[in-house]
Structure 1
Amino acid sequence: MKIILASLDTLRASRLGAYGYRKPTSPHLDRIAGEGALFERAYAADIPTEVAHTGIFTGKVGLTTGVVSHGSDRMQLPKSTPWLPSLLRSAGFTTGAVDNLFQLKEWFARGYRYYINSVGDKRWIDGRTVNELAMPWIEQHKDESFFLFLHYWDAHTPYLPPETYVESFYDAGRDPFDPANKSMERAYNHKAYPFFKHHHYDLIGQVTDSDYYDALYDAEIRYLDDRLRELDEHLEKLGIREDTLLVLFGDHGESLTEHDIYWDHCGLYEPTVHVPVIMRWPGRIPAGRRVPGLVQQADLMPTILEAARSASPAGIDATKLQSPDGMDGRSLWPAIRGESDGAHERVYLSECAWQAARGIRTDRYKFIRTYDAGLFDRPPRELYDLSTDPEETVNLAEEQAELADRLERELEAWIAGKLQGREDPIALQLREAGLPFRRRIELILSEAGLTWEDWRRDPRREVFDRAVRR
């Protein structure tokens, strides 16, 4: 048995054909979905990258592990916490990864016999590099039972796809630098501008058309899709495609100007928390299965462990593949077999990076409680009826105060049940260190000779650029 778990970083579900998108971003991903199971309402319970992947490899949400914040030096994962690659390796699987999450936290290298760090001279990691490192490893270990984690970053900022990929998504007759187009002004004058100027905008140029950034994001997905096709063709060439459980997921999505978020992944809104999850295992997962109910990323660990136990490959000790106690995730196999519509009646959401908030996603509603809005203007409570307002544009928290109160009480009860008397790690982070990403902005501003108070009073691109030139 071979298991390939692939993280498609920053991939938004609604931007894939299999999830209803009409532009040609994902022909091969759509094909894989047609050959296996697609989870229509899969959610990242914890965002962004660091906390999302911690949940995936532990089967536990952030309140259970204590890892609730991205980019904070305060976050630690005890070595005693059961870890998916470690469990698989102890059972006899050869474990490998092509990944660079070790750059964030040491625990992401746990459990691997072979950890190939994909980081290079540049921040941006090309999916072609991931394949160049992964394919020889797969060929070398094709006769073994293995678990391989792959981390593709192509859809993450900065969007730098090959020029030929952009043509399908942006009209050749349009000029993305047309000075008459003012659609980028809100992004350029947002409080987060100092961060994105360096990490994104300066790398692409003085674009004036916001549609061009959306097109670049789509082009990146299409480029990623081609890299996944190459990976699949490699499995076919080696004769192991039929024996491979392939699990593809987005660690979080991406907001493309929605809710005052410009090509980034914060906010507990659908563009960021609704992610693709697609699984294929020929002969074991029914082709074309679409799971309509709610699932979350923590469900992947018990699902993979159950698959490994059921396959009983030679040389593997299945007794070491039992799901650890205390997991928040639930096996998705009943949903895959059509015995249930999903795994959860509701998913609890959390973030602590650019802003700090928690929420609940039920079958119909989304409730969000914001503790610290950071660089954004957010009401303390938001309530959306996703059945009539899928883009979350009408906040019903005041109009339907009774429902908002009930959902907030439920959220508070869930938090208290998880904490069992411990201090809330988000509250601790905010009190002792503040929002991690606000600290980044403050550092950038200080290097330009500005204070946070200066910038908050007048967050205009010209103000920051003038300070930098000085």
Structure 2
Amino acid sequence: MKIILISLDTLRASRLSGYGYKKPTSPHLDRIAGQGVLFERAYAADIPTEVAHTGIFSGKIGLTTGIVSHGSELTHLPKSTAWLPTMLRSAGFTTSAVDNLYQLKEWFARGYRYYMNSVGGNRWIDGRTVNDLAMPWIEQHKDESFFLFLHYWDAHTPYLPPQSYIPDFYETDRDPYDPANKSMERAYNHPAYPFFKHHHYDLVGPVTDSGYFDSLYDAEIRYLDDRLQDLDDHLKKLGIQDDTLLILFGDHGESLTEHDIYWDHCGLYEPTVHVPLIMRWPGRIPAGRRVSGLVQQVDLLPTILEAVRNESPSGIDRSRLGDPDGLDGKSLWPAIQGETDGTHGTVYLSECAWQAARGIRTADYKFIRTYDSGPFNRPPRELYDLAADPAETVNLADLQPELVDRFERQLDGWVERKLNGREDPMNRQLKEAGLPFRRRIEQILASAGMTWEDWCREPQRERFDMAVQTLNTYRQH
């Protein structure tokens, strides 16, 4: 038995044709979905990357593990926490990863016999790099039962696809640098601009057309799709495709200007928390199955454990998998087999990076409560009727106060039950360290002789750019 778990970082569900998108971003992902199961409403309960992956490998949400913030020095995951790669290795699987999350937190390397760090000279990792490390390893271990985790970053900023991929998504007669186009002004004058200038805008160039960034994102997805086809072709060539449980998921999505978020993944809105989830296992998973109910990422761990127990692969001691208690995830197998529709009637959402907020996603509604809005202007409470308003453009909080109050009580009760007397890790983060991404902006501003308070009062992009240019010139001399 082979298990390949693939994280497609920053991949938004609604940008794939299997989820209704009209542009050709994902032909091979669509083929994989047609050979297996696609979960139409899969959610990242905790965002962004650090907290999402911690939940996936532990089967527990952030309030259970205490990991609710991304990039914070306050967070630590006890080694006593059950961890999927460790469990599988204990049972006899050869475990491996092509990943760079170890750069973020040490616990992401736990349980692997082989850990191939994909980090390079910059933080943008080409899917070819992942394949170049993964494919030879797969060939060397194709006769073993193995668990392989692959982490592709192509859809993450900065969007730098090969030039040949862009014309399929951006008209050749359009000029992305047309000075008459002012659609980038809101992004360039946003309080988060200093961060994105360094990590994104300067790497792409002086773009004036916001639609060009959207097109680059699509081109990145198509490039990623081709790399996934290369990987899948390799499995077929080695004769192990049918013996491989293949799981592909987005750790979070991406906002493309919605809700004042410019090519980033924050906010508990659908573009960021609604993620793709696709599974294929020929002969075990029915082809062409679509699950329409709510599921979440922490469901993956119990799903994988159940698959191993049911398959009874040779050389694997299932008794050594253990039976981790306190899991928040539920096995997806009843939904895969058509016995149920989804795993959860309600998904609770959380973030603490650019801003701090929690929310509730039901079949019909989204409720969001913001604790700290960071560089954004957010009302304290938001309510959206997703059936009537899927883009979440009309906040009903003032129009339906009784429903909002009911959701807020539900959220408070859930938090209280999960904490069971423990300190709320989000409160501790905000009290002792603040928002991690705000700290990053403060450091960038300080290097240019500015303060966060002054910047938020009136962002002065031209002054900031001039200060950065002066500093760079000074350093060169």
Give TM class, smaller chain. over 0.9
1:120: Cα distance to partner?
1.0
1:121: Cα distance to partner?
1.2
1:96-115 matched pairs, under 5 angstroms: 96-115=96-115
1:428-443 matched pairs, under 5 angstroms: 428-443=428-443
Distance between the aligned counterparts of 1:241 and 1:457, measured in 2? 56
Distance between the aligned counterparts of 2:188 and 2:112, measured in 1? 42
| Partner AA of 1:39 in structure 2 | F
Distance between the aligned counterparts of 2:446 and 2:382, measured in 1? 33
1:321: Cα distance to partner?
2.6
| Partner AA of 1:163 in structure 2 | Q
| Matched residue, 2:397 | 397
| Matched residue, 1:71 | 71
What SS is found at the alignment partner of 2:450? coil
1:134: Cα distance to partner?
0.0
1:68-467 matched pairs, under 5 angstroms: 68-467=68-467
Distance between the aligned counterparts of 1:296 and 1:419, measured in 2? 20
1:467: Cα distance to partner?
2.2
Distance between the aligned counterparts of 1:450 and 1:469, measured in 2? 14
Distance between the aligned counterparts of 1:251 and 1:125, measured in 2? 16
Distance between the aligned counterparts of 2:174 and 2:322, measured in 1? 56
1:322: Cα distance to partner?
4.4
Distance between the aligned counterparts of 2:289 and 2:469, measured in 1? 56
Moved more, 82-91 or 319-328: 319-328
What SS is found at the alignment partner of 1:147? strand
| Matched residue, 1:35 | 35
Root-mean-square deviation (CA, aligned residues, Å) is 0.6
Note the alpha carbon deviations across 1:396-450, whole angstroms, 9 max, x for none.
0110010000001000000000001111100010011100000000000000011
Distance between the aligned counterparts of 1:411 and 1:277, measured in 2? 26
Distance between the aligned counterparts of 1:428 and 1:453, measured in 2? 22
Q: Structure 2: 5+ residue runs without aligned partners? A: 471-477
Distance between the aligned counterparts of 2:270 and 2:312, measured in 1? 38
What SS is found at the alignment partner of 2:341? coil
* 1:36 and 1:278 in contact (8 A); partners too: yes
What SS is found at the alignment partner of 1:292? strand
* 1:308 and 1:321 in contact (8 A); partners too: no
Runs of 4+ residues deviating >3 angstroms? none
Note the alpha carbon deviations across 1:144-174, whole angstroms, 9 max, x for none.
0000000000000000000000010000000
Note the alpha carbon deviations across 1:100-154, whole angstroms, 9 max, x for none.
0000000000000000000011211000000000000000000000000000000
* 1:36 and 1:281 in contact (8 A); partners too: yes
Scaled by the length of structure 1, the TM-score of the pair is 0.99
What SS is found at the alignment partner of 1:319? helix
1:323: Cα distance to partner?
4.0
Q: Structure 1: 5+ residue runs without aligned partners? A: none
What SS is found at the alignment partner of 1:95? strand
| Partner AA of 1:408 in structure 2 | E
| Matched residue, 1:46 | 46
Distance between the aligned counterparts of 2:347 and 2:280, measured in 1? 24
1:453: Cα distance to partner?
1.7
What SS is found at the alignment partner of 1:360? strand
Distance between the aligned counterparts of 2:294 and 2:104, measured in 1? 29
Note the alpha carbon deviations across 1:259-293, whole angstroms, 9 max, x for none.
00000000000000000000000000000000000
Distance between the aligned counterparts of 2:150 and 2:142, measured in 1? 16
What SS is found at the alignment partner of 1:315? coil
* 1:190 and 1:460 in contact (8 A); partners too: no
Distance between the aligned counterparts of 2:43 and 2:250, measured in 1? 9
* 1:176 and 1:207 in contact (8 A); partners too: yes
Note the alpha carbon deviations across 1:368-405, whole angstroms, 9 max, x for none.
00000000000000000000000000000110010000
Note the alpha carbon deviations across 1:175-213, whole angstroms, 9 max, x for none.
000000000000000000000000000001000000000
| Partner AA of 1:198 in structure 2 | H
Moved more, 382-391 or 451-460: 451-460
| Matched residue, 1:12 | 12
Distance between the aligned counterparts of 1:55 and 1:398, measured in 2? 34
Scaled by the length of structure 2, the TM-score of the pair is 0.98
Percentage identity across aligned positions? 79
Moved more, 432-441 or 460-469: 460-469
In the alignment of these two chains, the number of paired residues is: 470
Note the alpha carbon deviations across 1:56-87, whole angstroms, 9 max, x for none.
00000000000000010001000000000000
Note the alpha carbon deviations across 1:440-469, whole angstroms, 9 max, x for none.
000000000111122112113213112223
Note the alpha carbon deviations across 1:325-377, whole angstroms, 9 max, x for none.
10000000000000000000000000000000000000100000000000000
* 1:305 and 1:322 in contact (8 A); partners too: no
Distance between the aligned counterparts of 1:173 and 1:323, measured in 2? 59
